[in-house]
């Protein structure tokens, strides 16, 4: 019954609020300035090198997965801590407790994050999980959520704690969502600016040995970037938004405007590989660059239609819906089932690029992606060769060098 959920939420919120009041003045993403305009306190603190107080991370899913996860973690943690590059302080809030405020150490920084297991999302969350769940149609992905209003980096926290990853129940579909980050990661350790309104998440997925993705890890970034585009274009009325893919992991509007990107971290074990799929996407934030809702508004004006602004909740849900479909399809049929759809959205078919390295100055034509996920070009001689970035250029399509066989 609905009243049971409300009562449970009230019990949880009583604990949450005792913690919340200890950091809300430092981590509140917006405060009113004297002239009445909203000011992003996080960006102002970072710009002045002031300390930004991070918020705890909450985790919630089905009761069975919660308890299995807690039992698994109990075997590897010491004094409530799951150690790693980022230490996680595990707290069980699935049962109402008494003096929560004294039981949770809120010393929170990029090296130690409290992770609070709850029955429900925080009631004060600015992310509407009810709305998110109404759009979510997956069997697994997104069914276990980690959530933080403000954290360092969802990608760094998950990839920095292998012990924690190793205890996630099979098929849990864990996704770590943050509303803002202080140390967002981009490709080649570039900083990803993370203002409020940017969709920031990292999804966990296991890849057993012997499966198609186990031998084609490069395809993971292609799967996620395509899932973003297909998810948004799958919403009624948004089919004609010109969202495209720039190799290897960028999401563009048209040919020149980047709106998002994907980052993959992997760790291997005897059973297979654990992948962390990170994504940052400008949804409602017009600064520091163009966001999806700017594009939606311009499209509506140009075509005399009234498309509603996109929300973080809807975009995350439709992305996960598509990612699970594409992932399962790839694991059954391999690259052949995927590449035709990918080529429909990417920017590079028949494009001319100039090689670097020993072939500096040679103009070649983009040919496609091979079965291992590597970029191929056609040389003037007609030969098809594999190329890779030289690592010196911010634009991955510049300074490509031929991969030499050992």
Per-residue pLDDT of 165-207, as tens digits, reads: 999 999 999 999 999 998 765 555 555 557 899 999 999 999 9
Instruction: Provide mean pLDDT across the span 140-149.
Output: 96
Cα 36 from Cα 394, distance rounded (Å):
39
Cα 199 from Cα 311, distance rounded (Å):
9
What residue ranges do the domains of the chain occupy?
A: 2-344, 352-402
Cα 110 from Cα 87, distance rounded (Å):
9
Tokens 């790693």 locate to 84
Q: What is the CATH number of domain 2-344?
A: 3.30.930.10
pTM, two decimals, is: 0.86
Cα 158 from Cα 135, distance rounded (Å):
25
**Confidence band, pLDDT 50/70/90 cuts, at residue 293:** very high
Q: Under the phi-then-psi rule, with left for phi > 0, alpha for psi from -120 to 50, and beta for the rest, what region is 309?
A: beta
Q: What is the average pLDDT score of the chain?
A: 83
Cα 253 from Cα 244, distance rounded (Å):
6
Per-residue pLDDT of 360-383, as tens digits, reads: 789 999 999 998 899 999 999 999
| Least confident interval from 24-38, 62-76, 256-270 | 24-38
| Least confident interval from 109-118, 224-233, 275-284 | 109-118
Cβ neighbours of residue 366 closer than 8 Å, sequence gap 6 or more: 348, 349, 350, 351, 352, 353, 375, 376, 377
Q: In this model, does residue 101 exceed pLDDT 50?
A: no
Per-residue pLDDT of 313-356, as tens digits, reads: 999 999 999 999 999 999 999 998 899 999 999 999 889 999 98
Query: Which H or E element spans position 277?
Result: strand 272-282
Q: In this model, does residue 58 exceed pLDDT 80?
A: yes
**Confidence band, pLDDT 50/70/90 cuts, at residue 5:** very low
């Amino acid at each position: 019954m609905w009243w049971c959920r409300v009562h449970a939420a009230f019990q949880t919120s009583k604990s949450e609020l005792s913690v919340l009041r200890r950091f809300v003045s430092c981590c509140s993403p917006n405060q009113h300035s004297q002239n009445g305009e909203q000011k992003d306190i996080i960006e102002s603190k970072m710009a002045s090198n002031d300390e930004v107080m991070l918020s705890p991370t909450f985790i919630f899913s089905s009761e069975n997965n919660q308890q299995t996860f807690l039992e698994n973690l109990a075997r590897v943690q010491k004094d409530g801590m799951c150690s790693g590059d980022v230490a996680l302080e595990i707290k069980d809030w699935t049962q109402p407790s008494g003096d929560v405020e004294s039981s949770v150490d809120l010393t929170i920084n990029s090296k130690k994050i409290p992770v609070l297991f709850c029955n429900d999302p925080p009631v004060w969350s600015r992310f509407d999980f009810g709305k998110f769940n109404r759009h979510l149609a997956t069997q697994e992905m997104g069914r276990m959520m980690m959530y933080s209003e403000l954290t360092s980096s969802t990608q760094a926290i998950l990839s920095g704690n292998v012990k924690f990853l190793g205890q996630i129940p099979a098929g849990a579909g864990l996704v770590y969502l943050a509303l803002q980050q202080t140390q967002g990661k981009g490709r080649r350790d570039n900083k990803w600016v993370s203002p409020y309104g940017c969709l920031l998440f990292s999804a966990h997925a296991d890849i057993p040995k012997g499966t198609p993705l186990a031998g084609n890890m490069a395809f993971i970034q292609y799967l996620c970037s395509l899932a973003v585009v297909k998810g948004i274009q799958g919403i009624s009325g948004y089919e004609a938004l010109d969202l495209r893919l720039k190799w290897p992991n960028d999401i563009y509007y048209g040919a020149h405007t980047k709106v998002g990107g994907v980052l993959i971290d992997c760790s291997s074990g005897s059973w297979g590989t654990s992948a962390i799929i990170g994504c940052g996407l400008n949804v409602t934030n017009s600064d520091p660059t163009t966001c999806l809702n700017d594009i939606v508004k311009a499209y509506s004006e140009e075509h005399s239609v009234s498309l509603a602004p996109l929300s973080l909740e809807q975009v995350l849900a439709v992305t996960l819906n598509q990612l699970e479909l594409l992932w399962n399809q790839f694991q059954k049929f391999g690259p052949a089932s995927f590449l035709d759809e990918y080529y429909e959205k990417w920017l590079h078919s028949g494009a001319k690029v100039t090689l670097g390295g020993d072939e500096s100055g040679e103009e070649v034509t983009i040919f496609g992606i091979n079965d291992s996920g590597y970029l191929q070009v056609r040389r003037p001689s007609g030969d098809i060769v594999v190329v890779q970035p030289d690592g010196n250029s911010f634009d991955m399509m510049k300074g490509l060098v031929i991969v030499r066989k050992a």
